Amino acid sequence: MGELMLHEDRLFPSEPSQRGIARRLYGEVRHLPIISPHGHTEARWFADDQPFPDPATLLVTPDHYIFRMLYSQGVPLEALGIADRGGGRGETDPRRIWRRFAGHWKCFRGTPCALWMTHTLYEVFQVRETPSAETADRVYDQIAECLTRPEFLPRALYERFGIEVLATTESPLDDLAHHRRLRASGWRGRVVSTFRPDPVVDPEFEGFAANVRRLGELTGEDTGAWRGYLRALEKRREYFRALGATATDHGHATAATADLAPGQCEALFGRVVAGGASPGDAESFRAQMLTEMARMSVEDGMVMQLHPGVFRNHNRALFEKFGRDMGADIPLATEYVRALKPLLDRFGNDPRLTLILFALDETAYARELAPLAGHYPALKLGPAWWFYDSPEGMRYYRWKTTETAGFYNTVGFNDDTRAFPSIPARHDAARRMDCAWLARLCAEHRLTEDEARETAVDLAYRLAKDAYKL
C-alpha cells in the first residue's frame, strides 16, 4: 500500500465498452475551465495572496469531512487542533495533527475524502506515497516545502486550476472588503460573493436581533419595521450585485415557504425581532422570507439557492465546547411538495425566477424534486450536495433525476468546498461521473455518442454558467 495511485481511468465503469465511451467523453471536458458557482473559500486568500501556513492547517483542520471521520474513530477534536469557543486549540503542532490524519488513512477507504485527498496530494503536491504513520513526515515535508513556493500562492493555484469563476459565500453583514480589494487589485481572476442572509432571516440564528440592528446601521434603514427590514435586504443585495454576485443562498432547516398577508408579516416580524420567537414563529418567518427572497430575485435577477433539511450541531457536548460546524450535522427526511407550494403559487411560473433546489434526503430526488423541476419553469435541481458530493452520490443523483427532469433542468456541478486545493479533484470527479453516466446510456443505446458529447460539455461547463448567469 506504499505507492499513491491516481489511475487515468478512475471512476469509469470497468466494462470495456462503457469505459471506452467514458474516456472519449471525458476527453472532451477534462480541460474545460472550472465554473465554481457555490462554495466556501475565502476572498481574503486571493486578496492577500499570501502562502498557506502548513499542511495540516490547509488540508486537515478546516475540513469537517475529514475530522468528522477521525472523530468517529476516537480521535478527539483537541488532538486535531480544532479551536474551541474560547480559542483554545489543544494540539498546536501541525506536524502531529498531520500524523494523526495520516495514521488513520485506512478509515477513509471508499469515501470521497480518500479520492479528493489522493488527487490533491498527487496532482497539486506531487506526492507519490500513500499516507500512513510511516510516510506522514515525508509527505508533510513535501507539502510544506511546496507551500513556500510562489506557484502555490492562492492566485497561482487559482490560475493553475483553470478556474474561470469562483463564488464565495458571505453574510449580508459582511462588508465584502476582501472582494473590493480583489476587484481593485487588477488581478484577472474572477471571485464573486454569494448573498447568504441566514444570520438576518433566521430568528434562531445566534445573535439574530443584533444582526438585524446591524443590518439597519449598514443600510440606513429602520430594520425595526418590516418595510425597512425588506428595503435593507434589497440594498444589501444590490451591494453584493455591484461586486459581481449573481446568486443568493439559503440554508434552512426545512423547505417550508409561506405567503402571508402583509399585516401578518408585520406582526410576525414584530414578534421575532423582539426576541424569543417561538419555534413556530421562527419557522413561519423563515418560510415567509424565502418567498420574499424569491420576490426580490424576480425583481433583481439574482439566482436563488435553497439548501434545506439538516439537523445542525446535533452533538450537544461538542457544540457547547467547540461551537457550530463540528461535523455533527445530520440530514433529516425533507418534504418539498407541500413546503414549496406557497412560493411556487406566487412565482413558480415566472420566467424571471431561477430557484435551485438541493437535497440531503435522496428519497426526494425521484419522488419530489425531479417531478417539480420537470414541471415548474422557475425550478432547477442543484447537484448532489454535501454527503452526496461523492461518486456514488452523483451516480445516484443522475439515476434518480434524469428520467423525470432530464439533464436540462439541472445546473451542473457545485464544489461547495472550503478546501481550496481540492477544487480540481472535485470537479474532476463530477466530470468523470457524469461521463460515466452518459457512457452507460450510450452503451445501452439510449443516447447516441454525439448527443452524449454535447451533454457532457453542458454538464461540465455550460449549465452552471447559464444557470448562475456567470
The minimum distance between CB 15 and a second copy, in angstroms, equals 5
Stretch that binds a second copy, among 136-144, 171-179, 228-236, 308-316 (CB under 8 A): 308-316
Judged by beta carbon, residue 184 or residue 333, the one nearer a second copy is: 333
The footprint of a second copy on residues 365-404 (CB under 8 A) is: 366-368, 370-377, 379, 387-388, 390-393, 399-400, 402-404
Task: Give me the 80-119 binding string for a second copy, x by CB under 8 A, dash otherwise.
Answer: --------------------------xxxxxxx-xx----
Among positions 121-180, residues that touch a second copy (CB under 8 A) are: none
- Please give the helix or strand (H or E) that residue 305 lies within, else none: strand 303-308
193 or 410: CB nearest a second copy: 410
Burial of 28 (0-12, 13-18, 19+ CB in 10 A): middle
Using the rule CB under 8 A, is 74 a contact of a second copy? Answer: yes
- For 170-239, the DSSP string reads B-TT---HHHHHHHHHT----EE--B--HHHH-TTSTTHHHHHHHHHHHHT--TTSHHHHHHHHHHHHHH
Stretch that binds a second copy, among 186-194, 206-214, 233-241, 325-333 (CB under 8 A): 325-333
Q: Does 451 bind a second copy (CB under 8 A)?
A: yes
Residue 157 CB, shortest distance to a second copy, in Å, is 25
Cα–Cα separations (whole angstroms), residue 154 to 42, 176, 385: 10, 18, 25
Site for a second copy in 2-21 (CB under 8 A): 5, 7, 9-15, 17-18
* DSSP symbols for 100-149: HHHHTGGGGTTSHHHHHHHHIIIIIS---B--STTTHHHHHHHHHHHHTS
**Site stretch for a second copy (CB under 8 A), options 88-96, 196-204, 261-269, 324-332:** 324-332
**Which grid cell is 371?**
417531478
Residues with Cβ within 8 Å of 90's Cβ and at least 6 positions away in sequence, in order, are 76, 77, 78, 79, 80, 81, 82, 84
Q: Which amino acid is at 317?
A: A
The least CB distance from residue 451 to a second copy, in Å, is: 6
Stretch that binds a second copy, among 28-36, 70-78, 145-153, 231-239 (CB under 8 A): 70-78
Which residue carries 418539498 as its cell?
336
Cβ atoms of 394 and 420 closer than 8 Å: no
Q: How far is the CB of 439 from a second copy (least distance, A)?
A: 9
Determine if 311 is a binding residue for a second copy (CB under 8 A): yes
Binding a second copy (rule: CB under 8 A), the pick from 58, 69, 166, 245 is 69
Q: Is 407 in the site for a second copy (CB under 8 A)?
A: yes
Sheet holding 191-192, edge to edge: 34-36, 163-167, 191-192
Cα–Cα nearest to 91, from 100, 101, 79: 79
From the CB of residue 150, how many other CB atoms can be counted at a distance below 10 Å?
9
Whose Cβ is closer to a second copy: residue 163's or residue 456's?
456
Closer CB to a second copy, 210 or 311, in the complex: 311
- The one segment of 131-139, 267-275, 293-301, 321-329 that binds a second copy by CB under 8 A: 321-329
Cβ atoms within 10 Å, residue 137:
13
Nearer to a second copy, 232 or 353 (CB): 353
Pairing mode, if any, of strands 330-331 and 310-311? antiparallel
Please say whether the beta carbons of 432 and 4 come within 8 A. no
Q: Which positions from 328 to 367 touch a second copy by CB under 8 A, shown as an x/- string? A: xxxxxx-x-xx--x--xx--xx-x--------xxxx--xx
Return the residue of 71, 239, 285, 413 that touches a second copy, per CB under 8 A: 71
